[in-house]
């Protein structure tokens, strides 16, 4: 399929129908808010290293590394930056140990977040290595490292992640951008499009043009 348009002007004008990754930090917080549950009360750390590789962990980052700290309590909270200085004794002593259910919930959430980073990296890597947009050796290396770090080592799970990347590639394609824009025109207040055509167009978008991750 043709080149991917992440920031098509027409798509941006109709952002309600082109809800693809824009600000990845904001999208991450939104995803956490949706996925967090009472069984997942814990902290997750997210940081980008000097090579631009994204890391996600329930453990604190290396000393001196500024990280996004997210409280998983049904809401998400972004810290201004944390460094593993070892001075957080008062905070840890005031919190009860995580239960088995909380640990399991945290690991499940981490798995979903890593899958998200994996799928986005695989899709971007495919576009860039196919020559569909400008890139550099450093960018290719960063994407490969992000994929290696976050994609599953299990063969079956990795195939699922690759399938999701393929779906994301289609959702980002010009065909789907145009399909979502056409649907936006059909449901505009001044549109006279028959309801059956609107339903048909919506079904096409739902089946072919819904991004598996955001």
User: Of 73-77, 125-129, 192-196, 197-201, which range is least confident?
Assistant: 73-77
- Amino acid 184: pLDDT: 95
Which residue ranges make up each domain of the chain?
1-20+172-214, 21-171
Residue 94 or residue 175, greater confidence: 175
- Amino acid 96: pLDDT: 66
In this prediction, residues 26-41 reach a mean pLDDT of: 46
Contacts 24+ apart (CB under 8 A), 75-83: 75/33, 75/36, 76/29, 76/32, 76/33, 76/36, 78/25, 78/29, 82/45
What are the tens digits of pLDDT across the range 112-149? 888 999 999 999 999 899 887 889 999 999 999 999 99
What are the tens digits of pLDDT across the range 53-65? 888 887 888 888 8
In this prediction, residues 68-94 reach a mean pLDDT of: 49
Distance CA 16, CA 105 (A): 31
């Amino acid at each position: 399929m043709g080149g991917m348009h992440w920031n098509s002007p027409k798509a941006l004008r109709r952002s309600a129908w082109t809800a693809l990754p824009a600000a990845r930090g904001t999208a991450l917080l939104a995803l956490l808010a949706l996925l967090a549950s009472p069984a997942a009360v814990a902290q997750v750390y997210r940081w980008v290293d000097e090579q631009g590789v994204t890391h996600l962990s329930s453990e604190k980052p290396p000393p001196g590394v500024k990280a996004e700290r997210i409280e998983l309590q049904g809401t998400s909270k972004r810290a201004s930056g944390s460094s593993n200085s070892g001075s957080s004794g008062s905070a840890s002593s005031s919190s009860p140990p995580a239960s088995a259910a909380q640990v399991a919930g945290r690991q499940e959430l981490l798995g979903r977040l890593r899958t998200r980073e994996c799928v986005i990296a695989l899709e971007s890597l495919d576009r860039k290595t196919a020559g569909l947009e400008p890139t550099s050796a450093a960018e290719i290396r960063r994407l490969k490292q992000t994929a290696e770090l976050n994609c599953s080592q299990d063969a079956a799970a990795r195939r699922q992640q690759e399938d999701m990347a393929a779906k994301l590639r289609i959702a980002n394609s010009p065909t789907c951008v145009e399909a979502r824009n056409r649907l936006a025109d059909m449901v505009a207040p001044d549109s006279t499009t028959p309801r059956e055509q609107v339903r048909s167009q919506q079904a096409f978008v739902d089946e072919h043009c819904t991004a598996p991750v955001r």
